[in-house]
Structures are given as C-alpha cells and as structure tokens.
Chains A and B, each alone.
Chain A
Amino acid sequence: MHAWIPNEALWWLGLYGGCGVLLPWLLRWTQKGREGLDTSPRKLFQGGELGLFGLVLAIATVLDLQRSTWPSLLIAVDAVVVGISGLMAASAWLSDYSRMEEGLANHDERTWMDSRRLLFLVFSIAFTTQVLLTHAAEVVRR
C-alpha cells in the first residue's frame, strides 16, 4: 500500500492547504488578544474565501496535469472536470461578494457551508488525480 500513496501529492496538497487555510487562520489567531475578535475558521472564511482557495487548488491541479505524460484528450477531459469544480467553488465567494457590492442581505451561513463543501469536492478530485497520476503510470508499466 505504501508505494501507492504519492508522497509528492501529499506534500503538494499539504503546502496548498497550509498556505491557503492554515496560515490565514494562524495569522488571525495571533491577534486573539484584541477584544471581540472571533478567531474561529467559520468567522474567518464566512465570505466564501475557501471557495477561492478551491479555485487555486483546481488551477494547480490543471497545471500538474499539463506536465503529465497522459494522452492529450485525457488531460483535456480531466482539466475540464477539475476546472468546473474549481469554478463552482469560486462562485460561492463571487455570489457573496456580488450581494455585498449590491447592498443585499448576506447569507453568511449558507456561503460558509457552500464554500466548505465545494472545497472538499475540489480537494477530493485533486487528491485522487494526484493518486491517479502516479498509479496510471504504474499500471502501464506492469
């Protein structure tokens, strides 16, 4: 089982997860001393910022796909699926931002839930794509 877990993928996703989610949260956490400052992830990402991070993750996966030795059609189809999921995730942030700009009522709870779920989708597809990038080459070699 060990050989089939792509270490590069774990490092890669860990790096993006660290920079996109953990680092902003830690920065917020360091300001905990301020009165009335809520340091919970829900408060920090209530505007759907996790969705934006999902788009970044999707773009990075597409760039990784471009570097692979897979057939061009397979890369194109995979990039379209990953790209759609990334855009769906970003739309959570975009709709909240548009509402704010137009002065409409915000749905923070809904935006937080949508962005969190869609980030999970992008993360899962990105992780499985990384596993497949390692695995597909192994299957061909056998």
Chain B
Amino acid sequence: MTLTTPSQHLITARIRMSDSAILAGCVSLLYAFVLMVWPVAFPHLLTRIFYAGYFYRTLAMVLVVANEVLFTSIYRRRNQKASPITAAYIALLTITLVFALRAVLTIADEQAQLAHFIQHSSIHAGMTAGELLVYTHLGIVSGIFVPYLIVRLTQNYVSATQLVEAEDKSRHATAGQ
C-alpha cells in the first residue's frame, strides 16, 4: 500500500487490453485440462448445476470475484490509484455479460427444441451437454477479457472527448483575446 501526502496524489492508471489476457488464457487452458482429465464427470457436473438453476448465479459470482481480484492486482502492481467507479463498472459489465450469455443459451435451447420437434414431432430436452460445455467456456473466457476491453475503449473515448474539450477551450480563449 502506498502512502500519499495531499501534495502527492497517485495517478489513476489506465487499463490495458492485455491486462486480462493472461488470466483469461490460463482459465481457458485450465478448462481444456479439466475436460481432458475428467471427460465424463465434468460435463455431468455442469449439466447438473445448469438444470438445478445455480448456473448463472455461480458463473456471475466467480467472474465478478476473478475480475475484481485482477483489477486490484493490476493497480497494486503499478502502484497507482484504483478508481472505485471503474471497479463497479467492471462488476456491472461482467454481470451484463452473464445476462447476455443467459439470453444466448435460452435462444439455443429453444432452437434445439424446435429443430427436434420439426424432425421428430416430439419435445426434446433442448441443448446437449456438449453445447453447454462450449457455451460455458465462451462465457468464462469472454466474461474475463470483454469487460476489460470495454473499459479500455471507454477510457479511450473519455480521454479523446476531454482532449477535444480542452482544444475548444483554448481556441475560445485565443478568439476572446
């Protein structure tokens, strides 16, 4: 923890796109490894969690915790000030992504049921365990790197707007003289 005096404020750091890449990559490789070691038990566990109704809550909680820990570690490593607004923004984006995944999974489930109904004229359970595996992997990986990507784009937008405003101000000041 860095001590600051009133005259020496810490600079609010900028998020870089590659900040979350290592964590997202490691989680992706870990997912592949778990799948190779427990090829039957892992999909069954996921399916059980999904049909028990805990899937989205668990996913959102794990991703928010992972992203907040990553966020804190980035700022600590750079010895810079962590903005609570950015932390809240990352949590909000992560939860929004889980909602987006939920919408995609619902569409996929309905699509699978409809396809089965058209082919066999009977109702099917919907999505397969294999599809759920792929969607979970995509949800976990994008849940880590997409919030940081959006934060970076937002920071770029804000700094560009501030630059334009500063230029406008200086132009007006010059015109006033």
Residues in A lying within 8 Å of B, measured CB to CB: 1, 4-5, 70-71, 73-74, 77-78, 81, 84-85, 88, 91-92, 113-114, 117-118, 120-121, 123-125, 127-129, 131-132, 135-140, 142
Contact = CB atoms under 8 A, between A and B. Distances in A.
B32 A74 contact: no
Contacts of A128: 28-29, 31-32, 137, 141
A73 B32 contact: no
B135 A77 contact: yes
B39 A117 contact: no
Contact of A73 (B16, B29, B107): B107
B63 interface: no
Listed residue (B39, B108, B111) with the most chain A CB atoms within 10 angstroms of its CB: B39
A1 B36 CA distance: 6
Contacts of A81: 138, 141-142
B130 A140 contact: yes
A137 B130 contact: yes
Given A71-B111, A124-B26, A77 B138 contact: yes
30 contacts: A70-B131, A70-B134, A71-B111, A73-B107, A73-B108, A74-B131, A77-B104, A78-B134, A81-B138, A84-B142, A84-B149, A88-B17, A91-B17, A92-B18, A114-B16, A117-B25, A118-B18, A120-B22, A120-B25, A121-B25, A121-B145, A123-B25, A124-B26, A125-B24, A131-B32, A132-B133, A135-B133, A136-B131, A136-B133, A137-B130
Q: Which 10 A-B pairs have the closest CB atoms?
A: A136-B130, A124-B25, A124-B28, A139-B130, A117-B18, A121-B21, A117-B21, A128-B32, A114-B18, A4-B36
Nearest to B146: A84
Given A88-B21, A132-B130, A139-B129, 7 more contacts: A71-B111, A73-B111, A81-B138, A88-B17, A124-B29, A132-B32, A140-B130
Nearest to A123: B25
A131 B22 contact: no
A139 B133 contact: yes
Contacts of B149: 84, 88
Interface in B133-165: 133-135, 137-138, 141-142, 145-146, 149
A15 to B, nearest CB: 19
Contacts of B16: 114
Nearest to A75: B134
Contact of B39 (A71, A120, A138): A138
